[in-house]
Amino acid sequence: MDLLDFARGPALWTSIAVCILGLAWRLSAILRRPARPDWSEPRSTATSAGALRMIVRRTWHHETFRERTFLSSLNAYAYHVGLALVFFGFLPHIEFVRRLTGLAWPAVPGWLFVLAVAATFVGLGWALIARLTNPVLKLLSGFDDYFSWGVTILPLITGMAVISLALDQPYPARPLAPVPVAIHLLSLELLLVWLPFGKLSHAFLVFLSRGYTGAAFARKGAEP
């Protein structure tokens, strides 16, 4: 078994299993915590609608906060949207998923992919600089913050390395070199293994957290 076979085989399935089981463990551990009944007379019983409203409402800041948070929010959007476009919209990635699951969807145009890569690199770079220089972020940050940043940018770097090696080849291009592809895949697998244990889980926890507060606020008739 060569490195690419390992990355495409045991490493991939192990990382997916760790990701799913880890997330399931983390979410179930939260949901297993006791919840006391709330006997107060609700102002509204539409708590599910309140949860959904909060999930949507907190996608952007209230007007009054925008002045102080505009740039950081814009940056967060840049690398979140960028990452999503790169991960789900790049044709080789879609092919990869199709081989595994049979599912496929249209790829994003090349110019949008390049733009998304650029936005993600700039956004993540800016996020790191902010974390290292902003006194509030410096104070709050720990291993999880920096490691999560590292495992997020690593697949981008290794992916760009694969592309750049392909660009260097004389036309017509030969198949991609196996080792860089294997390293790219392994970097993604590292992200999957880390996801349930660190802050990257916010991709899932965001719905739970916003939902809880949304339901509680709706019960009181408070603004989300």
Partner 1 sequence: MSDIDATHPVDLESKRFSIRKPEVRYDKQGERPDSDRLAAAMQAFVQDMGRAAATYLESCIHCGNCAEACHFYVQTGDPKYTPIWKLEPFKQAYKRTVGPFAWLYRALNLKHAVTVEQLQEWQHLLYDSCTVCGRCSMICPMGIDIASLVSQARHGMFAAGLVPHELWAVAERAEREGSPLGATPKVFADRVEWLADDFEVELPLDRPEAEVLVTFSSIEIMKYPASLVATARILQHAGYSWTLSTKGYEATNFGLLSGNAAWQRDMTMKLVDAAIACGAKVLVLPECGHAYTALRWMGANAYGKPLPFRVLHISEFLAENVQNGRLRLQKVPKSLAFHDPCQVSRRGGAVAAPRVVLAALGVELRETRDHGSLGWCCGGGGGVVTIHRADPLRYKAFEIKMSQLDATGAELTVTSCGNCRQTFDDGQAHFGWARTMGSLLELVAANLRD
Q: Is the dihedral of CA 128, 133, 134, 139 positive or negative?
A: positive
Residue 136 C-beta: closest distance to partner 1, Å: 4
Q: Does residue 36 touch partner 1 according to CB under 8 A? A: yes
Which residue, 99 or 138, has its beta carbon nearer to partner 1? 138
Q: Does residue 53 touch partner 1 according to CB under 8 A? A: no
**Phi and psi torsions of 196, nearest 5°:** -70, -20
- Footprint of partner 1 on 66-125 (CB under 8 A): 68-69, 72, 76
**148 SS3 class:** helix
Q: Which range, of 11-19, 83-91, 103-111, 132-140, touches partner 1 by CB under 8 A?
A: 132-140
Residue environment code for 79-93, b if the CB has 16+ CB neighbours within 10 A, otherwise e? beebbebbbebbeeb
Q: Does residue 65 touch partner 1 according to CB under 8 A? A: yes
Report the 10 Å Cβ neighbour count for 126.
17
Structure-block tokens of residue 114: 């390049």
Q: Does residue 209 touch partner 1 according to CB under 8 A? A: yes
Which residue, 82 or 214, has its beta carbon nearer to partner 1? 214
Q: What is the full DSSP assignment across 33-89?
A: S------SPPS-S-HHHHHHHHHHHTTS--HHHHHHHHHHHHHHHHHHHHHHHHHHH
Binding to partner 1 by CB under 8 A, coded x per residue (else -) over 165-204, reads --------------------------------x-x-xx--
Residues that bind partner 1 (CB under 8 A): 25-26, 29-31, 33-41, 43, 54-55, 58, 61-62, 64-65, 68-69, 72, 76, 134-143, 145, 197, 199, 201-202, 205-206, 208-214, 216-217, 220-223
